[in-house]
């Protein structure tokens, strides 16, 4: 049975009501409310849930703020990841928002929806907002399954996510590839010509190319091993004959790296090459799109291409693939 007890100040004035629910087989539940009506409603809810076997202990979630959970998540989850910085930055932004002061049990979908509006007002892209929401969603999952907050619901699951933009459709057209490679040969960075050719052949990301080590390259077997990738999985990339010829032409470095280039250096060199070649609207990451599309045009199926590129879902792979209608027509015969 529930007991409702008035709470008084030192002058005897009622300042609230304490509700206490005792039921055999369950720990005593106590909570204080401003009004007697709220205390009675809460008591009826707890008693009903206990009788139906649906009750879950809310004390942990009712006494823990989102900010406290973020700090714990950073310590126990994020810190264990190989590349924790991107997630850390996202969680730090959540910490600075007013929602971080709310108790976990009190956060609803509408609270998250308001943050989404704020992010859109800040100029964040739809995919960026989705990444922020993904981190928050996983935090709630961990809190529910591992931190004793079984009663909470995940508010991220109930909100409408921003729509993803269409994947970039920029591919090399006309004689752009020849012009780009010739311009790369003229660049002050001697590695850029090899890196660009290698990117077009392998669909590897910029950071994956720059971090490639000779110890992970098997030229006779025509395979490059990527032990640390963006999605955290090990990947073995098959090398075309052109990719093998690119690597075979390189000298071996004492530090074990294949290239003497940092990701930012590659971007700057690539942008210079595009300007010299009068190529507009092309980014280094577009070479990954180009390579992925060429693999399909060579007849590889989606599972084969995904194994090479490292895409975990066919939906993401589709966004990176833009097949030329002219090439598809040739395949039709």
Per-residue pLDDT tens over the stretch 195-224: 999 999 999 999 899 989 999 999 999 999
Only one residue has tokens 């009675």, namely 40
pLDDT one-digit tens code per residue, 247-306: 999 988 888 899 888 889 999 999 999 999 999 999 999 999 899 888 888 888 888 888
298: left (phi over 0), alpha (psi -120 to 50) or beta: alpha
- Name 31's bridge partners: 19
- As a three-state string, the secondary structure of 228-296 is CCCCCCCEEEECCHHHHHHHHCCCCCCCCECCCCCHHHHHHHHHHHHHHCCCCCCCCCHHHHHHHHHHH
Determine the average pLDDT of the residues in 240-252. 91
- The model's pLDDT over 160-171, given as tens digits with 9 standing for 90+, comes to 988 876 666 788
Question: Tokens 């010829």 correspond to what residue?
Answer: 245
Tell me the mean pLDDT in the region 7-32: 84
Token couple for 2: 């529930």
pTM for this predicted structure: 0.58
Q: What is the pLDDT of residues 102-126, one digit of tens each?
A: 999 889 999 999 999 999 999 998 8
**How far is 294 from 305, CA to CA, in rounded Å?**
10
pLDDT, position 57? 65
Does 311 participate in catalysis according to the annotation? yes
In the annotation, is 205 catalytic?
yes
> Token digits for 256?
């074990």
Q: Which fold has domain 176-332?
A: hpI Integrase; Chain A (1.10.443)
Distances (CA, A) of 270 to 180, 192, 223, 244: 9, 7, 25, 22
Cα–Cα distance measured from residue 179 to residue 199, given in angstroms and rounded to the nearest whole number:
16
Specify the CATH number of the domain 66-158.
1.10.150
Buried b (16+ CB within 10 A) or exposed e, 235-254: bebebbeebbebbeeeeeee
**Lookup: tokens for 225:** 């091993």
Please indicate whether residue 318 is annotated as part of the active site: no
CA atoms of 240 and 300, how far apart (whole Å): 13
Half-sphere exposure at residue 272, Cβ-oriented, CA atoms within 13 angstroms: 15
Set 205, 235, 289, 294: catalytic member: 205
- Please tell me which residue in 34, 110, 185, 230 is annotated as part of the active site: 230
At 206, list the tokens: 């910029």
What pLDDT is recorded for position 193? 94
Catalytic residue among 144, 197, 288, 289: 288
- Confidence at residue 248, expressed as pLDDT on a 0 to 100 scale: 92
138 is catalytic: no
As to burial, measured by CB atoms within 10 angstroms (0-12 exposed, 13-18 middle, 19+ buried), residue 142 is middle
Q: How confident is the model at residue 98 (pLDDT cuts 50, 70, 90)?
A: very high
| Candidates 26, 168, 285, 319; catalytic one | 285
Predicted confidence band at 52 (pLDDT cuts at 50, 70, 90)? confident
Residue 39 near residue 21 (C-beta atoms within 8 A): no
Q: What is the pLDDT of residue 170?
A: 83
Instruction: Give the residue carrying structure tokens 């490059």.
Output: 224
Q: Is 85 a catalytic residue?
A: no
Inter-residue contact 305 to 317 (CB < 8 Å):
yes
Handedness of CA 248, 255, 210, 190 (dihedral sign): negative
Q: Catalytic annotation on 320?
A: yes
């Amino acid at each position: 049975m529930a007991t409702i007890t008035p709470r008084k100040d030192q002058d005897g004035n009622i300042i609230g009501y304490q509700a206490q629910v005792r039921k055999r087989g369950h720990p005593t539940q106590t909570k204080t409310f401003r009004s007697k009506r709220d205390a009675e409603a809460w008591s009826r809810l707890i008693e009903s849930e206990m009788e139906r076997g649906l009750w879950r202990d809310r004390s942990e979630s009712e006494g823990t703020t989102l900010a406290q959970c973020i700090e714990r998540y950073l310590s126990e989850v994020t810190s264990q990841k190989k590349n924790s910085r991107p997630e850390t930055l996202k969680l730090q932004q959540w910490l600075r928002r007013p929602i971080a002061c709310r108790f976990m049990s009190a956060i609803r979908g509408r609270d998250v929806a308001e943050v989404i509006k704020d992010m859109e007002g800040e100029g964040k892209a739809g995919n960026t907002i989705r990444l922020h929401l993904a981190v928050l969603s996983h935090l709630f999952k961990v809190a529910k399954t591992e931190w004793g907050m079984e009663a909470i619901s995940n508010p991220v699951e109930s909100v409408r996510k921003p729509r993803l933009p269409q994947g970039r459709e920029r591919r090399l057209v006309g004689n752009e590839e020849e012009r780009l490679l010739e311009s790369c040969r003229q660049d002050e960075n001697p590695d850029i010509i090899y890196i660009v050719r290698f990117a077009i052949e392998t669909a590897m990301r910029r950071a994956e190319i720059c971090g490639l080590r000779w110890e992970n390259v098997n030229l006779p077997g025509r395979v490059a091993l990527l032990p640390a990738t963006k999605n955290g999985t090990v990947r073995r990339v098959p090398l075309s004959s052109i990719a093998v010829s690119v690597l075979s032409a390189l000298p071996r470095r004492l530090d074990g790296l294949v290239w003497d280039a940092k990701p930012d250096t590659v971007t700057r060199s690539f942008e210079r090459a595009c300007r010299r070649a009068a190529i507009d609207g092309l980014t280094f990451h577009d070479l990954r799109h180009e390579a992925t599309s060429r693999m399909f045009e060579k007849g590889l199926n989606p599972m084969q291409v995904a194994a090479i590129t490292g895409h975990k879902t066919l939906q993401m792979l589709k966004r990176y693939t833009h097949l030329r209608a002219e090439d598809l027509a040739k395949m039709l015969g």
